[in-house]
Amino acid sequence: MPGISKKKILSYVVNLAIVLLLYVVISTLISRRIINSYYSDIINMMLINIILAVSLNLVTGLLGQLVLGHAGFMLVGAYAAALFTLNVKLPLTVSFPIALIIGGLAAALSGLIIGVPALRLRGDYLAIITLGFGEIIRVIANNLTITNGAKGLYGIESLNSRHNLTGMFTYIFFIAVFVIFLNFTFGTSRHGRAVIAIREDEIAAEASGINTTYYKLLAFILAAFIAGVAGGLYAHQIGLIDPSKFDFNRSTEILVMVVLGGMGSITGSIISAGVLTILPEALRGFSNYRMLLYSIVLICVMLFRPTGLLGRSEFSLMGTIEKIRNAVGGKKKKTAAKKEG
Amino acid sequence: MSVLETKNLGIAFGGLQALQDVHFSIEEGEIVGLIGPNGAGKTTVFNLLTDVYIPTEGVIELDGKNIVGKKTYQITQNGIARTFQNIRLFKDISVIDNVKIAMNYQMKYSTLSGIFRLPSYWKEEKAVTDRAHELLKVFRLDEHADDLAKNLPYGQQRKLEIARALAANPRVLLLDEPAAGMNPTETRELMETISLIRDKFKVAILLIEHDMNFVMGICEHIVVLDYGRIIAEGSAEEVRNNPKVIAAYLGGE
Amino acid sequence: MEFLSQVINGLGIGSIYALVALGYSMVYGIVQLINFAHGDIIMVGAYAVFVILVMMNLPLWLAVLGSILFCGIAGVVIERVAYHRLLVHDAPRISLLITAIGVSIFLQNLYQLLFGSDPKSMPKMFTFAPLQLGGIQLTSSTIINISVSVVMMAGLQLLVSKMKIGKAMRATSEDAGAAKLMGINTNTTIAFTFGIGSALAAVGAVLYCNTYPQIKPVMGGLLGLKAFVAAVLGGIGSIPGAMLGGYLLGVAESMTNAYISSNLTDAVVFGILIIVLLVKPTGLLGKNTREKV
């Protein structure tokens, strides 16, 4: 293929191998019950949060727009997917993937409906209007009969069963991997560059021939789609959903994950989403002080690392290997030079 | 044949008539200077040409077709690219990506092709990377291709902005004070670069500049604006000796 | 008549929103921060009233004064501890926003630890017999709310337009760099703005306690959000705008409660916000600014 270097291919192969290895190890541990269901549920929730954070990163990191209603898209996806599997008489193995796509599409559609008017605004005003839409979606779900109002939906089946402990994990893991991959590839494609250009300077982007409205909407809808899929996974992971699970606090939780990790850094989002899911569980013993501690950590990180833990940098395996190799090679060269001298 | 022509162009902000009856044309491959005292409306002309403001009267014809009402990005795609008075680069991304962004509309591969890295992605990305390097070479920016745009020194930032505008394949290039803040050596170098661009890229250039040596030295045709109206136009010699122009610059009658 | 009394009812509730909205608006005007912790200051104020009035059994006037003072100081302290470093270093605005969210979570959980998460009942504070006005009944809390909010707004307007510190506030919000060059101590000005905003929130808290019988640690969340909506609705940075927004919101809420459904109140509130922003992106009384190219 023209344009693709051997190094790129190698890096794809290595990354794929590591992902597969990781999957095999974890799923074996789960099915052998070395990781019990409590911990495997935490792993699943962590991965779902990673998906959400990475999807929000498309809008907040790449497009540079603040969104305070991401949980709204998650809600739409969760309800659409759950209603589908609850009402369609198909085996779950068949209906589940369809439900996820339906969830994603429903969320993307709501993203389109919200995005067309909202994206005319910028900065804080966009943030506020997404907040408004997020709240409205929640109130609507609270009042419709099909969503069963404030009681929500329950009895949503999980793919996990006594004989299959890794059903949910497999789906969630590979979707998370794909979403991370998508974030990288989208960000370095011509479309991603156009989106980044808008973040950097909207007027200059427009003057460079970028249809800014289109690309803003593209990033927004893509993020909504992924959040919808994550909602579908979430609904089937926890089995019961109600509107209060998707409120403003949930939206800020996702936003915090993105900002804490470093805006625009996918690895940062992954790390902070992971840590922020595990931390509250780890602090269960101090449940009274848990949130207090969380807020203090949050404030301190922002005060002393305002751009987030990783800033905009990314961790790449190949890059790290190269760095180590250079460091080692450099030492060798230095010692060689010393010997010569 | 003229590539760009304005007829009776005018705009009013509220009650203030900022531009009135602006009528000029640019021939293919011509370098035209737009000069005038501060506040004469020069940048406003650029903003009208690129739909940042919408004219309240008149037409703008690019290759004989009226472009008034088209969106900014459509105008760029149709062949008018510009730079800004206060440089507007994509600061936090690489120099080469700055250029590639302006080539975006000339690329074809789909979103899915980009996400899944299909062959069309690799093929087009390679082509566009090569082209971007070529373009950067012209401005001697090639060695900085992977640096962040914000880390370039001022003079090179101005150049990069011109390179980015050229990457959009324009028929007409609008330069808003390209020599502002440059020292005499840099200015001289810039003059050479601009002549080179015209010859190499077959592009007509309309530029706003306060440095009269620059304007007189490079422009074949000069348009003088004062209080939103054209008060004189012609060759450097004609404009220099025009009493109206002298009055506008020195004040008084 | 029913309609008119609903309007007046709405104005009464809207007065609380208006007072809180003023704080949002002032802080946003000066540092461009959506101060998500501002809503929780109401909660802090309400608990201050509760502590002084109920737990310590002290007179009402002391409770009111104490609450205002406490919140004013709390506002300054929060600015110094949580925002100051970011403001001085010109950190990304989103970091500031996340910090504000952090402060909000902190306050809610701190008060939950201190007072428990169950609601506390408030005694009646200022009461007198309802007034009859041509068939419309005006409750004491409605009359107090409206008159207090009007007085506060007039006072604030006076402060901002006539007093030295008010002029410094306006200058700082217009162009902090230039204000500094003109010899204005912008740091003090910003801290003062937080203090005044928080004190106003405390006044809002007193009115809240006088209107509703219960307070709890998370009460600031939705209340703050709505007050913020009011500030945006009226045009953020504008004092009359914040008042107008607050009143509008209150009336819209009471109308929805009366004629549509109390379940849909929040949807209507946010719906109005969206429509206003789409028609006039800077709010009803906000200034239109356009980036110069």
Q: DSSP secondary structure string, C16-55?
A: HHHHHHHHHHHHHHHH----TTHHHHHHHHHHHHHIIIII
Q: Where are the alpha helices (DSSP H) in C79-185?
A: 84-88, 93-115, 140-162, 164-174, 176-181
Domains by residue range for chain B, with CATH: 2-250 (3.40.50.300)
* Contacts of residue B193, Cβ cutoff 8 Å, sequence gap at least 6: B138, B139, B159, B162
In a domain, A316, yes or no: no
Share of chain A above pLDDT 90, in %: 63
B 58-117 → A contacts, CB under 8 A:
71-73, 76-77, 81-82, 84, 88-93, 97, 100-102, 104-105, 107, 109, 111, 114-117
Residue B157, both tokens: 């930032």
Give the integer Cα–Cα distance in Å for B20 and B61: 17
Of A4, A182, A196, the CB nearest to B93: A196
In angstroms, the separation between the Cα of residue C97 and the nearest Cα of chain B is: 22
**Which of A117, A118, A303 is closest, CB to CB, to C99?**
A303
Q: Tell me whether residue A324 is in a domain.
A: no
Q: Sorting pLDDT into bands at 50, 70 and 90, what band is A216?
A: very high
Q: What angle do CA B17, B20, B24 make, to 5 degrees?
A: 150
Average pLDDT over residues B154-179: 95
Chain A partners of C221 at a C-beta cutoff of 8 Å? 248-249
Global pTM value: 0.91
Q: In this structure, is residue A219 part of a structural domain?
A: yes
Q: Across the interface, which of C102, C232, C270 has its CB nearest the CB of A295?
A: C102
- How far apart are the C-alpha atoms of A278 and A256, rounded to whole Å? 15
Handedness of CA A71, A75, A78, A80 (dihedral sign): negative
Residue A1 has pLDDT above 70, yes or no: no
In the block, tokens 């803040």 appear at B181
Domain count, chain A: 1
Residue A22 has pLDDT above 90, yes or no: yes
CB A56 within 8 A of CB A231: no
Q: What is the rounded CA–CA span in Å between residue A119 and residue B187?
A: 41
For the ranges A219-223, A246-250, A326-330, C191-195, which has the lowest average pLDDT? A326-330
DSSP string, B150-207: GGS-HHHHHHHHHHHHHHT--SEEEEESTTTT--HHHHHHHHHHHHHHHHHHT-EEEE
Per-residue model confidence as pLDDT tens digits over B94-140 = 999 999 999 999 999 999 999 999 999 999 999 999 999 999 999 99
Q: Which residues of A have a CB under 8 Å from any CB of C?
A: 60, 66, 117-118, 120-121, 124-125, 127-129, 131-133, 135-136, 139-140, 142-143, 203, 248-249, 252, 255-256, 259-260, 263, 288-289, 291-292, 294-296, 298-299, 302-303, 306-308
Task: For A111, list phi and psi in degrees, rounded to 5.
Answer: -65, -40
What pLDDT is recorded for position C205?
94
Most confident range (mean pLDDT) of A70-79, B241-250, C150-159 is A70-79
Mean per-residue pLDDT, A32-38: 90
Q: What pLDDT shows up at residue C291?
A: 67
Residue of A nearest to B88 (CA): A204
Asked whether residue B251 carries a pLDDT value surpassing 80, the answer given is no
pLDDT at A174: 97
pLDDT of residue C51: 95
What's the Rg (C-alpha) of chain A? 22
Query: pLDDT tens across B14-43, in order?
Result: 888 999 999 999 999 999 999 999 889 999
A103 located within any domain: yes
Residue A331 lies in a domain: no
Give bridge partners of residue C169 from the DSSP assignment: none
SS3 B29: coil
The CATH number that applies at residue A242 is 1.10.3470
pLDDT higher than threshold 80 for residue B171: yes
C24-74 pLDDT, tens digit per residue, is: 999 988 888 889 999 999 999 999 999 999 999 999 999 999 999 999 999
- Please report where in the chains the tokens 């690129």 appear, as a residue: B50
Q: Is the dihedral of CA A152, A157, A160, A166 positive or negative?
A: negative
Residue C2's pLDDT is: 80
**Which pLDDT score, from 0 to 100, does residue C290 have?**
65
Q: How large is the ipTM?
A: 0.93
- Cβ atoms of A252 and A271 within 8 Å: the answer is no
| Confidence at residue A331, expressed as pLDDT on a 0 to 100 scale | 52
Which runs of consecutive H residues, i.e. helices, occur in chain A? Answer: 6-31, 37-57, 70-87, 92-118, 123-143, 167-187, 190-200, 202-207, 212-238, 248-261, 266-282, 287-304, 317-340
CB distance C267–A299 less than 8 Å?
Answer: no
pLDDT band at A334 (very low <50, low <70, confident <90, very high): very low
**Range of A194's domain?**
36-310
Question: Residue A336's pLDDT is what?
Answer: 47
Q: How confident is the model at residue A329 (pLDDT cuts 50, 70, 90)?
A: low
C-alpha C215/C-alpha C54 separation (Å) is: 13
Q: Which residues of B touch C293 (CB under 8 A)?
A: 43, 47, 52, 84
Three-state SS at C183: coil
Domain boundary assignment for chain C: 2-279
Q: What is the pLDDT of residues A279-317, one digit of tens each?
A: 888 887 777 788 888 899 889 989 998 888 887 778 777
Q: How close does chain C come to A262, measured CA to CA in Å?
A: 10
pLDDT digits (tens, 9 = 90+) for A152-182: 999 999 988 888 889 999 999 999 999 999 9
Q: Is residue A321 part of a domain?
A: no
* Six token digits for residue C103: 């402060």
Q: Which CATH class is domain C2-279?
A: mainly alpha
- Please identify every stretch of chain C with a pLDDT value under 50, giving residue numbers as ranges: none
